[in-house]
Structure 1
């Protein structure tokens, strides 16, 4: 089983948050810190959602962790955009 340290989670979260912000078109609005936060929270969200569907997220490895963070970050940014979009 692969366990990642804090620095690894920050790097994975930052990269996932940055790519998610590029996908959602919000990169110009957020900086490095917010990309990291979105990626880490997205990882928690993605891990929880996959767990709900019965996917074993604990033993997935580095690539699976990154993809989980990316999917969660895109979902998180979509939710934020839904509630903050101008009418």
Structure 2
């Protein structure tokens, strides 16, 4: 396993274990260059319907990586259904 794969797996674990109260610490990953990290960060904040992430999710939906754009749009759709 190379460093990029290992980094991705570590970040996935970190994001999965982050409690709701600390979700703001994940916002930096919405700008990550790795499309899988960006995608997972969008999924996590979308799952929790974390409103403070809305502005950044809009940015990802417009400017993010391919996977990030799709995940951000899904996360924003979840937030609209509240």
Instruction: Report the TM-score when normalising by structure 2.
Output: 0.32
Whose RCO is larger (CA < 8 A, sep 6+)? 1
TM-score by length of 1: 0.31
